[in-house]
A and B are shown apart, each in its own frame.
Chain A
């Protein structure tokens, strides 16, 4: 009997998920739809599927990570893949092995998917040219973190029903943030209006050409926003080279209940984690279940990664 092939937007194997910039709207929507179906599964008591049975997934992490790494780990396992996680922070690179060497070594083990996190922008692109399996970007330098943006989108859709027509503010260290970049592309693509808010020293040049409005004032930037995404500010940036002090940053850019009032009444708060309580965000606000979506983000992260693994590994 002839079977009709399911038509999908994601074809041409092996296909890589290197960034939101390379995605079409259809592809993004397909991932989100697929992810939705996993939310329920993840909340149930029997969480195991066999979609990826027999497939090998290697998590190649050159940079330390807790949530992204465990999320990918779990996602692969729930789909039935054999998952191997390699923390490269202190092994091959210190022996002078290049990314390409590592890639060739791993390639010889015939993985089906490599999930890579790397401190250099463009590393996943380079890897994808040298291996013959699917490459999924789990964050590269300050360029992209596509699965984070996708999980953010799913979280918003889950709460607000849609993204189109919403106004989203991204606040904090935009300059060094891959989360900000991926979210700018994705939210724009899905029809939201995006504001970015940062002190001038943490605002990248040419950001306005990415289709956002940039602000240095929380009051103006948050005005009328439905979603407020806070970014992590790394400690080393706060000691005089980019900003005068933690205290001064919190005063002007830290999210407090008072500042949140500049946004819409029903505005929701997001954070990719890990949070610096008292630096970029008020600690009570971060835990306020009526406002904060932080836990939900982590939860849906697994669903989104399952969707990506399933759709890209065929």
Chain B
């Protein structure tokens, strides 16, 4: 490819504490050659003027479900990567709860080959922590890691057995693998589909208390103090969990925490009269919880914002609330919804971008989420002010179960570069 130069663009890159207007020069290999206001120019380069726009590292989404294999009717590599690029996401951590489950080496080879052929983004596959995601026996962490697995997650299932969890941590610590836990106590959460409280009482639905989340976090962090490993809490949803995290961080326990953009942007009242697209796990909780999660990001208790992209076909959602499938799509709206938190003055822009780029990259130990010289030119370029309305039928995902249908947002992706090539523009 030809050398490219992006000019007059506001560059925000938390990995090098940069927020300035300047140029980005991309070399023939698709790497960043120079960046910033002092960045040089080159006559032979293809020039793209981006005046008035913002450039940030391509987003790293730590939690998305791609339907392949087994659920191609919900999403596939092609549609997922189209949705991702339209949302400025260039690196995706994919979940292993496919059919069959990604819990063995041959499945990893399949998924990596298939992803390479069909997807246009960087894919980082996860394998399950336990075989068949049954919570009984651990998978081959070492072999799977050697084949290219980035981390281990039972997705929306939790290791209930404390003894097994301690062994997982103990074993993982030795070979430096990342364990990502979904925190929910099964007994406390039994049959539940919504947060416990007034809304659940009015709708007549079985609610789950935030204790179900807190109790697993407390257990895991106790175990972690005995068996320190790379441990990440996928998504938290409540103020109570945050207090536990705060206490443990101040005691010097090392771990990281994520939150879904849904829990930052919505609360249980948005469920209205049984809107099944807002049936999520962890569930949407109170406004107080939502505000505390924003505080959590401010205080660095929460490090990552994820889309928790779960495509579901209409049939799985058009059911009574208790029977409907859990989850919503979100990879394409991840950035715009996050920018809402900047526009309504909840969070500083730099902090939001940090949680979407360099922070997840560091946790995953991958060379992404940064525009430092020499790194891959995965760049998201967006218009910070552009207003738009979310319309499900315009989203690129194969499934249209967005939790924010008709929401008025401000800030939209204009162009996405992958390895220096324009992979998306509108």
The chain A residues found within 8 Å of chain B, CB to CB, are 21, 98-100, 118, 120-123, 125-126, 140-144, 178, 181, 204-207, 209-210
Contacts and interface: CB of A to CB of B under 8 A. Distances in A.
B321 A121 contact: yes
A141 B202 contact: no
A196 B199 CA distance: 18
Contacts of A123: 320
A120 B318 contact: no
Contacts of B196: 205
A125 B198 contact: no
B203 A121 contact: yes
Query: Residue among B200, B204, B207 with the most chain A CB within 10 A?
Result: B204
A207 B201 contact: yes
B319 A140 contact: no
A162 to B, nearest CB: 27
Query: Residue among A142, A205, A209 with the most chain B CB within 10 A?
Result: A205
Given A118-B320, A121-B321, A21 B202 contact: yes
Contact of B319 (A125, A126, A181): A126
B346 to A, nearest CB: 26
Nearest to B314: A100
Given A120-B320, A141-B322, A125 B273 contact: yes
- The 3 A-B pairs at the shortest CB distance, nearest first, are namely A143-B204, A206-B198, A120-B320
Given A121-B204, A122-B273, 5 more contacts: A100-B319, A121-B320, A126-B320, A181-B202, A206-B199
Main SS class of interface, B: loop
B135 interface: no
Nearest to B206: A142
A118 B323 CA distance: 12
Nearest to B323: A120
Main SS class of interface, A: mixed
Contacts of A178: 204
Interface of B: 196-205, 207, 209, 273-274, 315, 318-323
A142 B198 CA distance: 14
A228 B58 CA distance: 64
A204 B320 contact: no
A178 B207 CA distance: 15
Contacts, number: 70
A181 B198 contact: no
A138 to B, nearest CB: 14
Contacts of B323: 120
Given A99-B319, A122-B274, A123-B320, A210 B205 contact: no
Contacts of B322: 120-122, 141
A121 B321 CA distance: 7
A210 B320 contact: no
Contact of A141 (B198, B204, B209): B204
A10 B204 CA distance: 25
Contacts of A205: 196-198, 200-201, 207, 209
Contact of B197 (A121, A143, A206): A206
29 contacts: A98-B315, A98-B319, A99-B320, A120-B321, A120-B323, A121-B203, A121-B204, A121-B205, A122-B205, A122-B273, A122-B322, A126-B318, A140-B204, A141-B204, A141-B205, A143-B202, A143-B203, A143-B204, A144-B204, A178-B204, A204-B200, A205-B200, A205-B209, A206-B199, A206-B200, A207-B201, A209-B198, A210-B201, A210-B202
Contact of B201 (A100, A118, A141, A204): A204
A210 B318 CA distance: 29
Contacts of B315: 98
A122 B207 CA distance: 15
Contacts of B204: 121-122, 140-144, 178, 181
Nearest to B197: A206
Nearest to A129: B318
Nearest to A126: B320
A21 B273 CA distance: 11
Contacts of A125: 273-274
B326 to A, nearest CB: 15
B318 A98 contact: yes
A102 to B, nearest CB: 12
